[in-house]
Amino acid sequence: MADGNSHPFNNDVIADDTIAQLRKQLSHQQQQHQHNSKHKDLIDLLSSNHTSNHFLNSIDPSINISSQAITDDDFNRLKSIIRSTIWPIDHLIRRQLWMNILTLNRVSTSKQHRITHHTSQTPLSTSTITIDSSLHSLTSKLSQWPNFVDITNLCFYHLTESRGCLLLQHILFTFALHHPDLTYCPALEPLSALLLHYFNEHEVLYLINRLLIKHWLCGETRLQWEANCNVFKKLLKIYYKSTADVIELRYTNTKVFYQEWFWWIFRYLPFAYLVKIMDCFLLEGPKILYRIGLALVHLFIKTVKHESNGKIQNMADFCQQIPVSIEHLLN
């Protein structure tokens, strides 16, 4: 793990030369920003809401974590700080940040006094969910995945095949055993892969379980997944009607187009963009993904309208060559 290193990455699943290359890609400005970054306000805000900041200062995998309440006012302050602060992908705050914000439960200010005592739930140990070693023979090949995974859109990012991808596979099979009602949940694979870049397998299992509890996985059945795609389509018609009209004219099968909205983000955007989006998603939930997806399709249509050389043929090309900053997408 990252403990004792000058970076937060999980050394067990990412090759050393890959980590070095990722850090080398940081611009001088980003490096200076990391060196000078002031995140005291963020830490103070998390501490004032009694979140488990001690968790990531410890290397003990059995340490207990409990969810905590955060008022509407503090939630909005926290959202503003996280959206506006662009930490480099190797910033040491990220492990602490992701774990803490995902254990928050938002409550209205008027109800805080009455509800707070209910939010300190029975502590859940990250070591209570273990990777079943008997799965090794079952998942010895990367062609085998739980039924809820979309195998046409597997995302490994910078995980090593020999260790990282297989561990991800074991995590998902373990999760499937604990949640047999989960029949179709494509979001779990890329989200787990991203988390595994920064956390060990026990922590990843805990975090994706938190996402499931919050119903932030964009659907747990095929019907729910398709409903989320329809929500995205309706939102586009509401906020970018002219863009939606162009989509209707440009594509003969708009259903297929809209079913890809999640993958524009998690399969095609640069890794640095994904990490920043995760900063926001783990606090705000799926609505930030809708926001990013809407911005992407709107910018895509604007780009192809004015492009003369035809280099951008589809959403995948556009996202891989994204012409705007992550700050622009978030705002």
Q: Are residues 231 and 209 in the same domain?
A: no
Closest CA to 132 of 119, 146, 121, 143: 146
Whether 80 maps to a domain, the answer reads yes
Specify the long-range contacts of residues 80-85, CB closer than 8 Å, at least 24 apart. Answer: 81/41, 81/42, 81/45, 82/42, 82/279, 82/280, 82/283, 83/280, 83/330, 83/331, 85/37, 85/39, 85/42
CATH number of the domain encompassing residue 159: 1.10.8
* 204 and 111 within one domain: no
Is there a single domain that holds both residue 234 and residue 205?
Answer: no
Please indicate, yes or no, if residue 38 is contained in any of the structural domains: yes
Report pLDDT digits (tens) over 110-139.
Answer: 554 444 433 333 334 444 555 555 555 444
Do residues 201 and 231 share a domain?
A: no
- Same domain, yes or no: 110 and 139: no
Position 129 in a domain:
no
Q: What is the pLDDT of residue 113?
A: 46
Same domain, 234 and 285: yes
In a domain, 32, yes or no: yes
Is residue 59, in this structure, part of any structural domain at all? yes
Tokens of 58: 């410890």
Looking at the structure, tell me whether residues 227 and 322 fall in a common domain: yes
Does residue 110 fall inside a structural domain? yes
Domain boundary among 213, 236, 256: 213
Residue 235 shares a structural domain with residue 187: no
Q: Tell me 152's DSSP state.
A: G
3 inside domain: no
Report the distance separating Cα 323 and Cα 325, nearest Å.
7
169 and 102 fall within a common domain: no
Q: Given 192, 213, 234, which residue is the final one in a domain?
A: 213
Instruction: For residue 185, give its domain range.
Output: 135-213
Residue 35 lies in a domain: yes
Domain count, the chain: 3
Residue 305's pLDDT is 81
Which of these three, 115, 145, 168, is where a domain ends? Answer: 115
pLDDT digit of tens for each residue in the chain (331 aa)?
555 567 889 989 998 888 888 877 665 445 544 444 445 566 566 655 544 444 434 334 444 445 678 888 989 999 999 999 999 999 988 998 999 999 888 877 655 444 443 333 333 444 455 555 555 544 456 679 999 999 999 999 999 998 999 999 999 999 999 999 999 999 999 999 999 999 999 999 999 999 999 999 999 999 999 999 999 999 999 999 999 999 999 999 999 999 999 999 999 999 999 999 999 999 999 999 999 999 999 999 999 887 766 667 799 999 999 999 999 999 8
- Mark whether 109 and 72 lie in a shared domain: yes
